[in-house]
């Protein structure tokens, strides 16, 4: 790789010279990449990282591209299929914001983190705009701060039982994620990770909470806008006094008598609490035995139609929140909401 960087630190994509059309490079002599937030959009196809880079913080913020290629002689980092890892392949450092995955000629929207990965780095998937699902393997121990923040099309991330740490603001403003699970070993559980998502299931073994606030740098106007449109979470736990106490103080709803049916729908008795965001069809008929539908039950789902042939007391907000959520940049494509009372 060519070129020199006299400052030794890259903080913006606009510091990256073009090597050729749509290919930018982190010049030889650069020691670190340090970016603490999303920059003004700068689109390119490939980012080349020199062997001299031995520290990366916030790489995904500047990697608004399809592939990242690390010099094979780099002593700390490596790349595989355009994704950056530590050289021992135990930490996933950065997944490019605009990376498109293919299987043959077809695009795929699920990324499976390689087996053997133990850590998902801070901001690793932040601002990704192509993935719908990320599958973490058993053995992952930690997920860094803001790792999945602002992923506007992401609807599912599984959290294995092996995870013992999840950083602050991990899923912040990823408004399509409508279900999360926090296993027993997570300590502490930051309350900012309870501010996103519709149904959040918390293992009874989680007993340590740490109160934290909105992400640094988020303006008051943005936080007010997000608070207006992001549904308050529904906390699901069997017998957890710590979570029950927090939910009461925060004004969140906490449910202990919940079940999940074979289709992945969460119920409390005959009340439909949460519908899965991924579904095999574009429509769903609400079962006849349903007596109530929770206000945010269908928030951020992929459905086009909901059918009901019997009278159900719907919360006034239920229809509104069935539309594409504000902040997904697809608010112009309204989803249909159709009921046919019997």
Compute the mean pLDDT over every residue in the chain, rounded to the nearest whole number: 83
Average pLDDT for residues 173-194, to the nearest whole number? Answer: 91
Residue 45's pLDDT is what?
Answer: 93
Higher pLDDT, 150 or 230: 150
Segment 302-324, tens digit of pLDDT: 777 787 777 776 655 554 344 33
The answer to whether the CB of 73 falls within 8 A of the CB of 95 is no
Q: Could you identify the residue written with the tokens 């930051």? A: 190
The predicted-structure confidence for 1-58, as pLDDT tens digits, reads as follows: 434 444 689 988 888 888 888 999 998 999 999 988 766 667 899 999 999 999 999 9
166-177 mean pLDDT: 90
**What mean pLDDT do residues 172-190 have?**
91
Beta bridge partners, 32, equal: 9, 55
Whole-prediction pTM: 0.85
pLDDT value at position 329? 35
- The rounded percent of the chain whose pLDDT value lies above 70 is 82
Is the pLDDT at 227 greater than 80, yes or no? no
Q: Report how far apart the first and last C-alpha atoms of the chain are (Å, whole number).
A: 69
- 282: which 2 tokens? 């574009």
The tens digit of pLDDT for each residue in 83-123 reads 999 999 999 999 999 899 988 889 999 999 999 999 999 99
What is the pLDDT, as a whole number, of residue 271? 93
Q: pLDDT confidence of 222, banded at 50, 70, 90?
A: very low
Q: Which helix (H) or strand (E) holds 80?
A: strand 77-80
The whole-number pLDDT of residue 40 equals 63
Residue 221 has pLDDT above 70, yes or no: no
3-state secondary structure of 241: helix
Do 267 and 259 meet the contact criterion of CB atoms below 8 Å apart? yes
């Amino acid at each position: 790789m060519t070129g020199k960087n006299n400052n030794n630190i890259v903080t913006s994509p606009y510091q990256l010279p073009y090597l050729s059309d749509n290919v930018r490079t982190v010049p030889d002599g650069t020691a670190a990449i340090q970016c603490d937030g999303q920059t003004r959009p700068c689109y390119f196809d490939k980012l080349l990282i020199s062997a001299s880079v031995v520290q990366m913080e916030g790489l995904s913020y500047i990697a608004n591209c399809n592939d990242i290629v690390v010099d094979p002689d780099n002593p700390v980092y490596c790349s595989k299929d355009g994704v950056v890892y530590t050289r021992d392949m135990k930490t996933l450092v950065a997944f490019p914001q605009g990376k498109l995955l293919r299987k043959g000629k077809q695009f795929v929207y699920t990324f499976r983190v390689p087996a053997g990965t133990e850590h998902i780095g801070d901001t690793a998937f932040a601002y990704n705009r192509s993935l719908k699902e990320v599958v973490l393997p058993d053995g992952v121990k930690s997920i860094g701060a803001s790792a999945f923040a602002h992923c506007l099309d992401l609807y599912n991330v599984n959290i294995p039982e092996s995870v013992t740490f999840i950083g602050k603001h991990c899923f912040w403003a990823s408004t399509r994620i409508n279900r999360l699970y926090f296993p027993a070993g997570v300590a502490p559980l930051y309350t900012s990770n309870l501010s996103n998502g519709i149904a959040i299931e918390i293992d009874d073994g989680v007993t340590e909470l740490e109160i934290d606030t909105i992400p640094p740098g988020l303006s008051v106007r943005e936080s007010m806008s997000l608070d207006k449109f992001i549904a308050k979470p529904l906390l699901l736990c069997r017998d957890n006094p710590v979570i029950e106490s927090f939910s009461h103080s925060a004004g969140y709803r906490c449910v202990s008598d919940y079940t999940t049916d074979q289709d992945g729908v969460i119920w409390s008795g005959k009340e439909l609490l949460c519908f899965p965001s991924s579904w095999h069809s574009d429509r769903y008929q609400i079962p006849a035995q349903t007596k109530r539908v929770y206000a945010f039950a269908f928030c951020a789902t992929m459905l086009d139609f909901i059918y009901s042939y019997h009278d159900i007391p719907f919360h006034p907000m239920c229809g509104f929140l069935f539309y594409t959520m504000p902040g997904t940049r697809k608010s112009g494509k309204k989803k249909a909401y159709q009921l046919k009372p019997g």
